[in-house]
Amino acid sequence: MLTSSLASFRQGKFAVLYDSSDREGEADLVLHASFASSKAIQTLRKDAGGLICFATSSELLKKTGLDYTTNMLQNSNVATIKEMVSTKTPYGDSPAFSIWVNHKKTFTGITDDDRAKTFSELAKLASSKDAKRSLIENFYTPGHVPLLFARDIKKRKGHTELAVALSQLAKMPPAVIICEMLGNGSALSFEGAKLYANKNNLPFIEGKQILDHLQTSKIGGSNGI
């Protein structure tokens, strides 16, 4: 089942990724960032409706010299920020957020065209030989695309980690666009997400499928997720 989903993902199709009923109990609409386009961003905006983010590996975090938002805020010189910072989500995880960026060849950064440009260039960043220099030369912050860096998937099994694992199982660079699927005032239900996937002929992937495949493939932990 996951094999066909990986083939679809490699071909540039969306997938619906559900984490677990024991965690957020949410589904994200995901796409490899190398296939970013204005139309794809519009689909994420209209059909998913959540925050459109770039998920990548902790290895890229080290290569760029960046850090998690929580760490940066804890080290802030602004007392109010230090008092406000949260290191744990309501469901018990450490957040995966880092900085927000725009590519330098965008205008406002928020349009479908602009975000498509930023995501496309971030996909290239994931394979860059000098990621730190490429980041500095081609992007600026603050921007409109949040960077999410996967933590150890053995400890955090969120959409960031699952999306990065999906890209690695598909033998693609760790560069995935993810966006929460929303319903009426809350997250789209498991049944609603599955219905959307079936209606649009998209793979519906549960986190446990990826985790099981990781064990079989012996991927995870030491490879940046």
pLDDT (tens place) for every residue of the chain, 225 residues total? 799 999 999 999 999 999 988 888 899 999 999 999 999 999 999 999 999 999 999 999 999 999 999 999 999 999 999 999 998 888 888 999 999 999 999 999 999 999 999 999 999 999 999 999 999 999 999 999 999 999 999 999 999 999 999 999 999 999 999 999 999 999 999 999 999 999 999 999 999 999 999 988 765 544 455
Residue 222 lies in a domain: no
Spatial strand order of the sheet with 27-32 comes to 97-103, 139-149, 49-56, 175-181, 27-32, 15-18, 204-206
The whole-number pLDDT of residue 20 equals 87
Task: Find the domain containing 100 and state its range.
Answer: 2-217
Cβ–Cβ < 8 Å for 175, 33? yes
Q: What are phi and psi of 162, to 5 degrees?
A: -65, -40
d(CA 31, CA 53): 11
d(CA 162, CA 132): 24
Residue 223 lies in a domain: no
Residue 197 lies in a domain: yes
Residue 81 lies in a domain: yes
Residue 224 lies in a domain: no
The whole-number pLDDT of residue 22 equals 85
The whole-number pLDDT of residue 209 equals 94
CB atoms within 10 A of CB 8: 17
Q: Strand, helix or coil at 212?
A: helix
- Give the DSSP H or E segment for 207: helix 207-217
The whole-number pLDDT of residue 225 equals 53
Q: Which of 197, 153, 160, 193 is nearest to 176 (CA)?
A: 160
d(CA 16, CA 203): 6
Cβ–Cβ < 8 Å for 210, 162? yes
| CA angle (124 as vertex; 71, 55 as ends), nearest 5 | 40
CATH number for the domain spanning 18: value is: 3.90.870.10
Cβ–Cβ < 8 Å for 31, 40? yes
The whole-number pLDDT of residue 219 equals 58
Q: Supply the DSSP string of 49-102, one letter for each residue.
A: EEEEEEEE-HHHHHHHT---HHHHHHT-S-HHHHHH--SS-TTSPPP-EEEEEE
The whole-number pLDDT of residue 171 equals 95
Q: Where in the sequence numbering do the catalytic residues fall? A: 28, 53, 91, 102, 144, 180
Domain count, the chain: 1
The whole-number pLDDT of residue 122 equals 98
The whole-number pLDDT of residue 89 equals 86
d(CA 145, CA 19): 22
Residue 133 lies in a domain: yes
Residue 59 lies in a domain: yes
Residue 106 lies in a domain: yes
